[in-house]
Structure formats: C-alpha cells, structure tokens
C-alpha cells in the first residue's frame, strides 16, 4: 500500500518563536510536512518558487509588506491555498477578500490549552485548504430582476455556509431588494468575528444586516447572522417569525450549526421557506436541508464548480436534500424567480 502523500506547508510569520512553535506542532501531525518558513513576504515569495508548498499559513502584520498586500500580489499569478493567522477580525476579512481560503484566530492567552486548541483548529483548516479550489475567476454576474413582482408575506430564507462562505453569502444576498423576506444565516465563525462580518455585509448589501440577538424579529429587508458560539433557531408567535440565539453544545461539529437552524426552519416555516446550502467542508446542514425539503421548502445547493470546498452541498445533494443545484452566481436570480412564481400563483 502506497503511503499517503503529505500536505506540504510553508509558514510565513515575522516572529521566529512563533515560526518554530508552529513548525514543531504541525510537523507532529502525520499528514503534514512543514517544508520551510519565511520571516517576511518577500522571503515567502522566493520560498514558494523554490519549495512549491500545498498550503501557506500567513500572518498579516509583518514588516516590508503586510499579508493583505502580499495576497493581492500572489493570487493573480501563483494562486495557492492560504490560511491566515490573525487576532483581528478586520484583517481576517480583508485577507478573505484578497483570496485566502480561511483564517484562524491567534490565541490571546498563552495557556497550554489555548495553544493546543489553536494548533488543532489550524491543522484542520490546513487540511481543508489543501482541497480548496483557489484562483478561479467567476463569470460576470447575471443581472437578476431587481424587484419582486409579487409581495410575499409569511416567508423566510435560511442560508448555511462554512469555508469560502463569507464571500459566497455576500454574492447571494448583496443585490436582494428590501422587499425580500427575512433571511437567517449560519456561517461557521468564532465570536467577535460574526459581529464584524455582519457589519461588513450591512455596508455592502441593500438589505439591512445584523448579528443575531435573542428575540430579534425576522422581517422583510432584514438579514440576521448567527452569533459565534450561539445556536440560531427560528420561532413564531402571533406577530410572525423571530429568532432565538442561545449558547449550546456543538451539533454536527459546530456551534452555531446549520443543521440546528435548518431543522427549526423546517419545523416552524414548513413550505413557507427557502433553504440554501453553500460552500463548506463536512456535512453540517445537509440533514437539516433534507428536513426542510421533506416539509415542503424549496432548497438550493451550490454546485461543485463554484464552491471553494464542495463538501456540505455535496452531501446534501447526495442524500436528496436539494431541489435545485446551481452555480453561485445564479442563486440570487433563482431566489427572486421562485418568490415571484409562488407570489403570482397566490394572487
């Protein structure tokens, strides 16, 4: 039996102590091989040419050229899966915008448990990044209808995503009009980062976007993003839909969990819902999407070609949870088309 090919990793960080610690810890994993390290981005560019790593770990704050500018220079010519290591949400999101696959939050404390958790998360994300599709340029965005032709009440849209999801979610919701039914979203992300992500989306979308707070109302023109380490569920009273945002144990490996959200939408909204599962590793959301479809919801899965990681939507498709599988850039128009169809049918 041939031995499994190891994932070749290059570490880029200006701290020699941090580089040595990462190298030692990552090398201890039998699936990883640290092929080298670089103290700055200029050194990194040369090491990439010499060593041809499979994945790069990248600090953002470095001398000579910061990690964001480095990514903008690297990705158009030598696209490579990059996992950013940063303590600041703003840096992490700018890195994702520049082409990084994912990010890991630097441990704020130096306790052994914090460092162990950080290393374990980094190893998982390096393995995921090694399977990611990077450097693909999506075709021009189709021009969907800018407005609904029917006024839809009593509906909700639920979206789930993981690796690659920050940009995918923006692509789906950016141009949806204020007449769009309320949207609830789970994107796998730690605390603090989810609030920053919601704020970034709010600046770039027509609809208003906020991080979930317990008992927030789900209303037209409003998007609610699950808070890190809190499950998001849909509920209903005489006034309509609202959300519950509460801490809990991991479900399907995550908190917040897409499965938890989708299961609640299936139960509360039934056929008055659209479920959308986007790029991400693993299976979170697949069973929940199937539950939604069984309860009459219209369900969409992102297709393989447009996913950064075709994991969650692949599992959903394979178990029959997906009504329609679509390229990322076709999803917005399909949402509007479906809503107009059912709205006009109800007239």
The yes-or-no verdict on residue 347 having pLDDT over 70 is no
**More confident site: 168 or 138:** 168
Determine which helix (DSSP H) or strand (DSSP E) holds 225, and give its type and residue range.
strand 222-225
| CA–CA gap between residue 295 and residue 273 (Å, rounded) | 9
The gap between the terminal CA atoms of the chain, to the nearest Å, is 64
Catalytic residue among 130, 162, 257, 306: 162
Tell me if residue 254 is catalytic.
Answer: no
Return the pLDDT at 152. Answer: 73
Angstrom distance (rounded) from CA 182 to CA 271: 15
CA 96 from chain centre, in angstroms, equals 10
Q: Taking Cα atoms as reference points, which of 108, 106, 107 lies closest to residue 95? A: 106
pLDDT for 160 beyond 90: yes
Domains and CATH numbers, the chain: 7-129 (3.40.50.2300), 156-346 (3.40.50.180)
Q: How far apart are CA 277 and CA 37, in angstroms?
A: 36
Give me the pLDDT at residue 145, please: 47
> Using CA atoms, how far apart are residues 135 and 113, in angstroms rounded to an integer?
35
- Which of 13, 263, 284, 330 is catalytic? The answer is 284
What are the angstrom distances between the C-alpha of 58 and each of 107, 138, 249? Answer: 15, 25, 31
Predicted TM-score (pTM) of the model is: 0.90
Residue spans of alpha helices (H) in the chain: 16-27, 41-51, 67-77, 89-97, 112-129, 165-173, 193-204, 258-268, 286-294, 312-318, 331-346
33-85 pLDDT tens trace? 999 999 999 999 999 999 999 999 999 888 888 899 999 999 998 899 999 99
Which pLDDT score, from 0 to 100, does residue 135 have? 67
pLDDT score of 262 more than 60: yes
Query: Which pLDDT tens digit goes with each residue over 290-311?
Result: 999 999 999 999 999 999 999 9
Nearest to 293 by CA among 158, 179, 181, 180: 158
Residue 182 backbone dihedrals phi, psi, to 5 degrees: -55, 145
Is residue 162 flagged as an active site residue? Answer: yes
Mean pLDDT of the residues in the chain: 91
In the set 13, 188, 259, 306, the catalytic residue is 188
Please return the burial class of 346, using the count of CB atoms within 10 Å of its CB with bins 0-12, 13-18 and 19+: exposed
Amino acid 134: pLDDT: 83
Determine how many CB atoms are found less than 10 A away from the CB of residue 11: 26
Q: How far apart are CA 278 and CA 332, in angstroms?
A: 13
Of 110, 107, 169, residue with least CA distance to 307? 169
- The average pLDDT across 96-120 equals 84
Report the pLDDT value the prediction gives residue 186, as an integer from 0 to 100. Answer: 98
Cβ pair 295, 270 in contact under 8 A:
yes
The dihedral sign for the CA sequence 84, 89, 94, 98: positive
Q: What is the pLDDT of residues 195-245, one digit of tens each?
A: 999 999 999 999 999 999 999 999 999 999 999 999 999 999 999 999 999
Q: Please tell me whether the peptide bond between 16 and the residue prior to it is cis, using omega within 30 degrees of 0.
A: no
Asked if 310 and 279 count as a contact pair (C-beta separation under 8 A), the reply is yes
């Amino acid at each position: 039996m041939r031995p499994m090919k190891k994932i070749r990793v290059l570490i880029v960080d200006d701290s020699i102590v941090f580089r040595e610690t990462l190298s030692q810890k990552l090398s201890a994993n039998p699936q990883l091989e640290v092929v080298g390290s670089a103290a700055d981005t200029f050194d990194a560019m040369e090491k990439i040419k010499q060593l041809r790593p499979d994945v790069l770990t990248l600090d953002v704050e470095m001398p000579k050229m910061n990690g964001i500018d480095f990514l903008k220079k690297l990705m158009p010519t030598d696209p490579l899966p990059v996992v950013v290591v940063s303590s600041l949400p703003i840096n992490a999101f700018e890195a994702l915008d520049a082409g990084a696959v994912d990010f890991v939050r630097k441990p704020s404390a130096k306790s052994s448990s914090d460092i162990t958790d950080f290393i374990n998360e980094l190893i998982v994300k390096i393995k995921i990044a090694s399977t990611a599709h990077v450097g693909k340029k999506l075709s021009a965005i189709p021009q969907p209808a800018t407005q609904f032709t029917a006024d839809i009440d009593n509906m909700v849209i639920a979206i789930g995503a993981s690796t690659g999801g920050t940009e995918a979610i923006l692509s789906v919701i950016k141009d949806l009009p204020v007449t769009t039914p309320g949207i609830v979203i789970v994107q796998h992300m730690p605390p603090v980062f989810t609030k920053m992500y919601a704020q970034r989306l709010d600046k770039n979308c027509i609809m208003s976007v906020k991080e979930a707070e317990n008992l927030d109302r789900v209303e037209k023109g409003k998007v609610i993003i699950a808070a890190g380490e809190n499950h998001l569920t849909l509920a209903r009273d005489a006034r309509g839909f609202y959300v519950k945002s509460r801490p809990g144990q991991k479900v399907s490996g995550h908190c917040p969990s897409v499965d938890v959200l989708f299961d609640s939408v299936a139960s509360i909204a039934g056929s008055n819902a659209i479920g959308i599962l986007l790029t991400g590793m693993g299976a979170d959301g697949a069973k929940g999407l199937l539950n939604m479809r069984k309860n009459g919801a219209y369900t969409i899965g992102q297709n393989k070609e447009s996913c950064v990681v075709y994991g969650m939507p692949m599992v959903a498709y394979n178990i029959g949870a997906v009504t329609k599988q679509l390229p990322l850039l076709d999803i917005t128009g399909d949402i509007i088309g479906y809503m107009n169809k059912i709205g006009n049918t109800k007239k």
